[in-house]
Amino acid sequence: MAYRVCFVCTGNICRSPMAESVFHARVEDAGLGHLVEADSAGTDGWHEGEGADPRTVAVLQEHGYATGHTARRFDRSWFTGLDLVIALDSGHLKALRRLAPTPEDARKVRLLRSYDPAAHDGDLDVPDPYYGGRAGFEECLEMVEAASDGLLAAVRQELEGRTT
């Protein structure tokens, strides 16, 4: 059974699809595509059925990442099939932990930047670039890329633990 990761932000059109795309690329580059699945969702359903924000798509494409995406809202029933739920900021972390059906499910929820060794403990949020300009989307991508390597290392360690 695949190791399943879901990235969650507010509307599932900026941060979480960006994180999904970057992490998917890291997984493929590591040769783990057959073992790890990544997807994304939002805590709210405002943009359900829409594609990613055009600025997200542009930044991802310019950096060589895939961009196919349709926004959806996170459903608490998904916890059972997920190994990790990755929140993009502390508000999402709190909302997802409250939504979790069990304490075990709540422990699956982590902040993305907690996997970035250069991130400071007091500032682990990936800021929402939606209301700003292009620079915010570039900054978001930098933060996501910086954390994705650490996340991949943690997932790889979990996978190794399953086989031993």
What are the sequence ranges of the domains in the chain? 3-163
Q: What is the pLDDT of residues 72-127, one digit of tens each?
A: 999 999 999 999 999 999 999 999 999 999 999 999 999 999 999 999 778 899 99
Query: Taking the C-alpha atoms of 12, 18, 20 and 25 in order, what is their torsion angle to the nearest 10 degrees?
Result: 160
Active-site residue set: 9, 15, 128
Task: Assess whether pLDDT exceeds 80 at residue 41.
Answer: yes
Q: Give the pLDDT score at 164.
A: 61
Classified by CATH at the fold level, domain 3-163 comes out as Rossmann fold (3.40.50)
